[in-house]
Amino acid sequence: MFGHRSDGYLIKQDDPIIGVVPHIMPNRADAQVMLTYEVDYATLARYVVAKEAEGCKVRFMDIVIAAFVRTVAELPELNRFIINKNTYARKTLSVSFAVLRSNGPSPSDVDENTTKCYFDPHDTIFDVSRRVTETIEEARKPDAENMTMKVAKAVLKPAVLRPAVAILKWMDKHGIMPKMIIDASPFHTSLFLTNNTSIGVPAVHHHIYNFGSTTMFWAMGAIRRTNEIGADGKVVRKRMLPIGITVDERVAPGRVFGMLMYNMLKYLSNPALLEQPPEEVKADQGHVAKLPE
């Protein structure tokens, strides 16, 4: 209430244009910017194989998340969110994603759990991989059910659903949503990531939810084969991993989003850079994201 939230620090805007934009575009869906970036699949595959030979399991998704975590450590403005036309620096750094628990004979017979994994801006790729593994194992337990799932089941009856959702939205808008729900909700997160690579679905440009505080939604797509002209003028066959990216343009200047792509491609082109902690974790107006207590 009055700009105070359990999940964020109120940001004082120095740029008047950035400060006005949330009033012009009050909803995240109004301010979506979409683009696709492609990463050399062979580079990532060689790194995964090399780490496996060393006895360390690293997923492709781990590399993408680790690159994001490192980029936020360097560009903390990317971990902001906007609710009720106010801009906040997020108190935590998190990534939400769906976890497949079981897969039946029918395509529609799928049991999934949506979960959220927290990170420290100082994390290396090995820290990220460990945290993701622990989160996936917890989400795959038969009795695993986060607070969002419990709330959804509780209000699923038509007579309850509309007023319950309206109340939750109102509470979130005014900063009085119970911290327990915010902490467990996958919609209150720095990044929502979906991995479509294994099921052969292209890198879609997914909308950003107006509910919650998600600022970005990324989709890893099916591997794409392409031909390119090499430095010697000869045709080179490549496999590329496309990533569909959707961001809320209101949280930061375009220059920061440009640096997001530059940094991500730098780390995805050389994942070994993520094996050491960052030299410096930058603060956003004095605030640094931390693991939840």
What is the CATH classification number for the domain harbouring 254?
3.30.559.10
- CA atoms of 130 and 258, how far apart (whole Å): 29
What pLDDT shows up at residue 205? 92
- CA atoms of 25 and 263, how far apart (whole Å): 28
Asked if residue 89 belongs to a domain, the reply is: yes
What pLDDT shows up at residue 154? 64
Domain count of the fold of the chain: 1
- Between the alpha carbon of residue 100 and those of residues 112, 184, 213, 217, the distances in Å are 5, 18, 24, 19
Q: One digit per residue, pLDDT tens: the chain, 293 residues? A: 666 898 999 998 777 878 888 889 999 888 999 999 899 999 999 999 999 999 999 999 999 999 999 999 999 999 999 999 999 999 999 999 988 765 555 555 556 778 899 999 999 999 999 999 999 888 877 665 555 566 666 666 667 777 878 888 888 998 998 888 888 888 999 999 998 887 788 888 999 999 899 999 999 999 989 888 877 888 888 899 999 999 999 998 889 999 999 999 999 999 999 999 999 999 999 999 999 98
Asked if residue 287 belongs to a domain, the reply is: no
What pLDDT shows up at residue 77? 95
Domain with 61, as residue range(s), is 8-275
Asked if residue 285 belongs to a domain, the reply is: no
Q: Are 122 and 278 in contact (CB under 8 A)?
A: yes
What pLDDT shows up at residue 1? 60
Asked if residue 126 belongs to a domain, the reply is: yes
Tokens of 209: 């939810």
Asked if residue 241 belongs to a domain, the reply is: yes
Asked if residue 293 belongs to a domain, the reply is: no
- Residue 176: how many other CB atoms lie within 10 Å: 12
What pLDDT shows up at residue 29? 85
Tokens of 126: 């090995």
Taking alpha carbons only, the member of 19, 9, 133 closest to residue 80 is 9
Asked if residue 223 belongs to a domain, the reply is: yes
Asked if residue 165 belongs to a domain, the reply is: yes
